């Protein structure tokens, strides 16, 4: 019985000093610079091996694209009328800013084309105002006001989209505001019995771990964007996270969502499981702000594991490693992190680390978290036994530990490569195991052929970072000399890769979301009727079509 000596109530058992005082605010964190991945405080530098790779492996004449003084880039003037500004300023618990330097920081996402435009173009289209709401009710009021006045709305968490998901596109409305959710960062509620935590959607990855870590808990979601991306963004893009094998994708971690839409509030998720009709949370997970703005996220958390073991192995080739990962996954063996680099990526990463001859073949790294050292070691031994059957050779712990230390650093390396005229961009997909090899070959050929037509011979690298019983992801990194028209260079390559993915039976995106970049490839994947279902949802939740025009679905004309 609740409250009986044998089953004490967890909150009642605490002393007054130990009881939670919520909401609890995290330590503020800087946002990203307008033209970089990161806040710019660390300073850009290239590892010694990166320059070696650029000189010896890349063919073609590189065209450096240096950074520029932000004052040399004209920001579009705000198009909001005095009436618009008065109406938005009247919304309670909202800070409004129309300064150019603030609007410049909200130009959009952080794909390589985004960064190239900020280095190449003399004019930038910025949101007409930036709104900083303090919570759910303020977001609802913003959306009501914008719907009434015909103003488009773009939600912004960390601004880390690499697929055109947060561009300040006004659609047919003529004005667009960005809703920056950073003020909502907070731990709002914690059920330590059920291991559920509710956060404001603007809480970043590090802030989440800080707030949970004070209580010995973790969410365990660590995508490469972890340092800057927000929980609302993780939900809106169906993020995967590098520890997806152990913890699950972000949609596996979501218990409940609170969403502000132009039509009203959606509060989704009551019980740990339900048969009460279709799961409406699935309509919001991956919706990218096209239906409304996620304001609160309730996630499943767990105690911080007491022990972590590490392992690394090299396989004779990628095919052998792929077979090992498939057997391991289908046997139900669950490392926390499991990654396999192909021969090209293994070689390049070794060179970046200054170990030109140390590693060959295809490198797999894994981590194993558990409450007890014995359990972590048991899973590592099970993994090693499966890998040995596929010709793997143990490389100890160092490669896995090295990967973990630098796992959030790669996006910033891209900035330094642009400085010396090197394109570095990524794309990802997933398919069933039976289609994976053909998919990898098709995408590699499409990228190589298209970039060759632009006069450069690229280095194409690939790794598996997410595995399932039925298949796995493929994450490609493309490195090439920048041409005189780098935007066209990458646009052609990305389009060719997307066509190859669709033809080979892969998904157009495994964890980067649809955005504007993949929008045209959505219908071939989900069908015309599937697109109409999404349109119907959008019409219901956003009757005037103000939400993030152009994302996920082609924009509709404003309602008359």
In whole angstroms, give the CA distance from residue 54 to residue 481.
Answer: 8
Residue 62 pLDDT class (50, 70, 90 cuts): confident
The separation between CA 61 and the C-alpha centre of its own chain, rounded to angstroms, equals 32
* 288, 515 contact by CB (below 8 A): yes
Give me the mean pLDDT over the 95-104 stretch: 97
Q: In angstroms, what CA-CA distances link 25 with 22, 186, 199, 217?
A: 8, 5, 10, 16
Three-state DSSP at 500 gives helix
Q: In angstroms, what CA-CA distances link 189 with 21, 100, 317?
A: 9, 36, 48
Half-sphere exposure of 203 (CA within 13 A, CB side): 31
Please check the confidence at residue 557 and state whether its pLDDT lies above 50. no
39 vs 469, more confident? 469
Residues 500-554: tens digit of each pLDDT: 999 999 999 999 999 999 999 999 999 999 999 999 999 999 999 999 999 998 7
Q: What letters, b where the CB count within 10 A reaches 16 and e where it falls short, cover 19-42?
A: eeeebeebeebebbbbbbbbebee
**Pick from 324, 263, 56, 268: nearest CA to 140:** 263
What pLDDT score does 3 carry?
Answer: 36
Angle (nearest 5°) at CA 286 between 283 and 289? 90
* 180, 132 contact by CB (below 8 A): yes
DSSP 194: T
In whole angstroms, give the CA distance from residue 357 to residue 351.
Answer: 8
List beta partners, residue 366. 311, 338
**Pick from 92, 100, 37: nearest CA to 70:** 100
Give me the mean pLDDT over the 193-201 stretch: 98
DSSP 92: T
Phi and psi angles of residue 280, each rounded to the nearest 5 degrees, phi first: -70, -20
Q: Which of 4-13, 48-57, 260-269, 389-398 is predicted least confidently?
A: 4-13
Global model pTM greater than 0.85? yes
Residue 348 pLDDT class (50, 70, 90 cuts): confident
Tally of CB atoms within 10 A around 17: 5
Residues 309-329: tens digit of each pLDDT: 999 999 999 999 999 999 999
Tokens 């309509």, located at residue: 283
Q: In angstroms, what CA-CA distances link 369 with 308, 495, 558?
A: 4, 39, 51
Cis peptide, bond prior to residue 121, ω within 30 of zero: no
In whole angstroms, give the CA distance from residue 220 to residue 218.
Answer: 5
What pLDDT score does 58 carry?
Answer: 76
Q: Which of 6-10, 31-35, 468-472, 487-491 is predicted least confidently?
A: 6-10
Rg (CA), the chain: 24
Please check the confidence at residue 558 and state whether its pLDDT lies above 60. no
- Encoded tokens for 534: 């999404």
Tally of CB atoms within 10 A around 8: 11
In whole angstroms, give the CA distance from residue 435 to residue 440.
Answer: 9
Please check the confidence at residue 11 and state whether its pLDDT lies above 60. no
In whole angstroms, give the CA distance from residue 57 to residue 67.
Answer: 25
- Encoded tokens for 148: 């009434």
Residues 6+ apart with CB under 8 A from 47: 352, 353, 354, 413
In whole angstroms, give the CA distance from residue 523 to residue 145.
Answer: 32
What pLDDT score does 4 carry?
Answer: 33
Residue 355 pLDDT class (50, 70, 90 cuts): low
In whole angstroms, give the CA distance from residue 519 to residue 513.
Answer: 10
Residue 401 pLDDT class (50, 70, 90 cuts): very high
Residues 131-166: tens digit of each pLDDT: 999 999 999 999 999 999 999 999 999 999 999 999
Mean of pLDDT over the chain: 92
Dihedral (CA of 188, 294, 114, 149) sign: negative
β-strands 217-218, 302-303 pairing: antiparallel
């Amino acid at each position: 019985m609740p409250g009986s000596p044998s089953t004490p109530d967890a909150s009642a058992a605490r002393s007054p000093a130990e009881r939670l005082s919520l909401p609890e605010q995290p330590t503020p964190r800087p946002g990203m610079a307008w033209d970089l991945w990161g806040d710019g405080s660390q300073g850009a530098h290239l590892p010694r091996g990166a320059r070696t790779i650029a000189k010896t492996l890349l063919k073609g004449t590189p065209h450096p694209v240096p950074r520029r003084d932000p004052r040399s880039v004209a920001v579009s003037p705000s198009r909001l009328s005095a009436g618009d500004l008065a109406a938005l300023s009247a919304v309670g618990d909202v800070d409004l800013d129309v300064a150019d330097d603030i609007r410049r920081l909200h130009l959009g996402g952080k794909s390589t084309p985004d960064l190239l435009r900020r280095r190449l173009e003399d004019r930038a289209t910025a949101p007409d105002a930036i709104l900083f709401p303090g919570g759910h009710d303020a977001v609802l009021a913003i959306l009501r006001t914008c719907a009434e006045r015909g103003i488009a709305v773009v939600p912004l968490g960390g601004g880390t989209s690499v697929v055109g998901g947060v561009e300040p596109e006004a659609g047919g409305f003529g004005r667009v505001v960005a809703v920056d959710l950073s003020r909502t960062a907070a731990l709002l509620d914690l059920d330590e019995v059920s291991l559920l935590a509710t956060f404001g959607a603007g809480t970043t990855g590090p802030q989440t771990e800080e707030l949970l870590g004070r209580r010995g808990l973790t969410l365990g979601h660590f995508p490469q964007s972890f340092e800057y991306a927000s929980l609302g963004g993780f939900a809106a893009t169906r993020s995967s996270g590098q520890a997806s094998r152990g913890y699950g994708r972000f949609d596996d971690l979501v218990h409940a969502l609170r969403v502000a839409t132009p039509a009203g509030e959606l509060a989704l998720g009551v019980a740990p499981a339900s048969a009460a009709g279709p799961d409406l949370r699935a309509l919001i997970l991956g919706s990218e702000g096209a239906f409304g703005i996620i304001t609160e996220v309730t996630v499943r958390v767990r105690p911080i594991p007491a022990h972590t073991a590490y392992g690394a192995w090299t396989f004779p080739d990628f095919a052998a490693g792929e077979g090992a990962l498939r057997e391991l996954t289908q046997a139900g063996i669950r490392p926390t992190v499991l990654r396999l680099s192909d021969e090209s990526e293994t070689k390049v990463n070794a060179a970046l680390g200054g170990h030109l001859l140390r590693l060959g073949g295809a490198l797999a790294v894994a981590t194993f978290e558990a409450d007890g050292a014995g359990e972590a070691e048991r899973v590592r031994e099970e993994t090693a036994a499966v890998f040995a059957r596929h010709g793997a050779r143990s490389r100890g712990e160092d490669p896995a530990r090295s990967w973990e230390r630098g796992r959030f650093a790669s996006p910033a390396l891209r900035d330094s490569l642009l400085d010396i005229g090197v394109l570095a961009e990524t794309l990802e997909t997933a398919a069933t195991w039976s289609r994976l090899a053909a998919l990898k070959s098709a995408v590699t050929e499409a990228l190589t052929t298209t970039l060759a037509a632009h006069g450069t011979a690229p280095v194409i690298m690939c790794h598996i970072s997410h595995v399932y019983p039925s298949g796995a992801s493929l994450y490609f990194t493309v490195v090439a000399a920048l041409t005189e028209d780098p935007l066209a260079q990458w646009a052609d390559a990305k389009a060719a890769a997307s066509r190859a993915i669709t033809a080979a039976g892969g998904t157009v995106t495994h964890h980067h979301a649809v955005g504007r970049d993949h929008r045209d490839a959505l219908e071939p994947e989900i069908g015309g009727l599937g697109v109409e279902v999404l349109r119907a949802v959008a019409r219901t939740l956003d009757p005037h079509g103000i939400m993030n025009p152009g994302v996920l679905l082609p924009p509709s004309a404003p309602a008359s």
